[in-house]
Amino acid sequence: MSAEIINGKELAQQLRNEMKKEVLALKESSNITPHLTVILVGDNPASKSYVKGKQKASNEVGISSELIQLPENTTEQELLTTIEDLNQNNSVHGILVQLPLPSHISEQKVIETIEPEKDVDGFHPISVGRMMTGKDTFLPCTPFGIVTMLKSKNIQIEGQHVVIIGRSNIVGKPVGQLLLNENATVTYCHSRTKDLTSYTEQADILIVAIGKAHVIQKQHIKEGAVVIDVGINRLEDGSLTGDVDFDSVVERASFLTPVPKGVGPMTIAMLLKNTIKAAKGLKN
């Protein structure tokens, strides 16, 4: 078997084309242009490049976006005050603080200061609680992108055994919750899991979010499994690769996401969706 590749880049482009129409319609019906403010603290090159990608994608669909760049030595209080001002500003629909932050600033405090109605990253505890209880909310972008990719290929989720490797608050835990909401049976694995293969080989859908190149190989999966590779790892030659050994796994999986052009572009597309949702307002 050779897996069908789920091309996140193409799917994200399709979604952006649809969102462009949605943004135009919103402008015509309500004279609202969704506005996203991104805050970047410091000079981390990877963060700069992510922020650039988010702004470019926003502009493409007609979302107005603004970048607030703050120096590395910004104090926690200065950042919190900037966020509080944006919370009060009615023309700002979505606020995103690019992570990671310098170590002298508490990420949790920052996340909790963003008004939940503007929490387009979906990291605020209120957004997380609403997701867990199945209420309308901003879904965290990477998990939301993964579920959208599965649905785009009509991959059955209900009743399937989903195994997730990784339990971070931004990827592993929430993607499990979303798939549980879709009636999957979910198993979480992590660095303390004993005999990882005994779990991965049971997976109908395997989601890998570890952050280590090529941990998952062909022998770890069952024939016909759907494999979603979230990892982004930079090799010595500067190229990007996933947590999954693409060349071997492609021979046994039924569907596989590549890195790059897989989950990454979907994450940004979901941020745009959340920003449009913020401009329209959450339902109770």
| Least distance (Å) between residue 30 CB and ligand NDP | 31
CB 227 within 8 A of CB 3: yes
Q: Is 172 in the site for ligand NDP (CB under 6 A)?
A: yes
Q: Which residue in the block uniquely carries the two structure tokens 């999957």?
A: 184
> Does 174 contact ligand NDP by CB under 6 A?
no
The reply to whether 222 belongs to the active site is no
Taking CB atoms, the residue at the shortest distance from ligand NDP is 168
Q: Which of 166, 174, 176, 258 binds ligand NDP (CB under 6 A)?
A: 166
Binder of ligand NDP out of 27, 109, 167, 280 (CB under 6 A): 167
Contacting ligand NDP (CB under 6 A), which of 190, 219, 234, 247? 190
- The reply on whether position 218 binds ligand NDP by CB under 6 A is no
Does residue 98 carry a catalytic annotation? yes
Of 256, 230, 161, 254, nearest in space to 199 by CA: 161
The answer for residues whose C-beta is within 8 angstroms of residue 44's C-beta and 6 or more apart is 100
Query: What are the backbone dihedrals phi and psi of residue 4, each rounded to the nearest 5 degrees, phi first?
Result: -80, 130
What is the size of the binding site for ligand NDP (CB under 6 A)? 26
- Residue labelled with tokens 């505890």: 125
Distance (Å, whole) CA 43 – CA 30: 38
Does residue 27 interact with ligand NDP by CB under 6 A? no
Q: Determine which residue in the list 65, 82, 142, 177 makes contact with ligand NDP, applying CB under 6 A.
A: 142
Q: Does 234 bind ligand NDP (CB under 6 A)?
A: no
Site stretch for ligand NDP (CB under 6 A), options 74-82, 154-162, 178-186, 263-271: 263-271
Taking CB under 6 A as the binding criterion, the range among 116-124, 192-200, 244-252, 274-282 that sits at the site for ligand NDP is: 192-200
Specify the stretch interacting with ligand NDP by CB under 6 A; choose among 9-17, 75-83, 160-168, 249-257: 160-168
Distances (CA, A) of 157 to 1, 23, 132, 203, 209: 21, 30, 17, 12, 19
Q: Please select the residue that binds ligand NDP; options are 34, 122, 174, 264, rule is CB under 6 A.
A: 264
Is there a catalytic annotation at residue 245?
no
Tokens 């952006």, residue located = 16
Interface with ligand NDP, residue 230, by CB under 6 A? yes
DSSP one-letter string for 64-111: EEEEEEE-TT--HHHHHHHHHHHHH-TT--EEEEPSSPPTTS-HHHHH
Give the relative orientation of helices 45-61 and 8-30 as an angle to the nearest 10 degrees: 50
- Options 10-18, 31-39, 150-158, 170-178: segment touching ligand NDP (CB under 6 A): 170-178
Contact with ligand NDP (CB under 6 A) among 232, 269, 278, 279: 232
Which listed residue (54, 173, 273, 277) is catalytic? Answer: 54
DSSP string for residues in 171-237 = THHHHHHHHHHTT-EEEEE-TT-SSHHHHHTT-SEEEE--SSTT-B-GGGS-TT-EEEE---EE-TT
Both tokens assigned to 269: 């597309």
Q: Which residues of the chain form contacts with ligand NDP (CB under 6 A)?
A: 142, 165-168, 170-172, 189-193, 196, 209-212, 215, 230-233, 263-264, 267
What is the set of active-site residues? Answer: 54, 98, 121
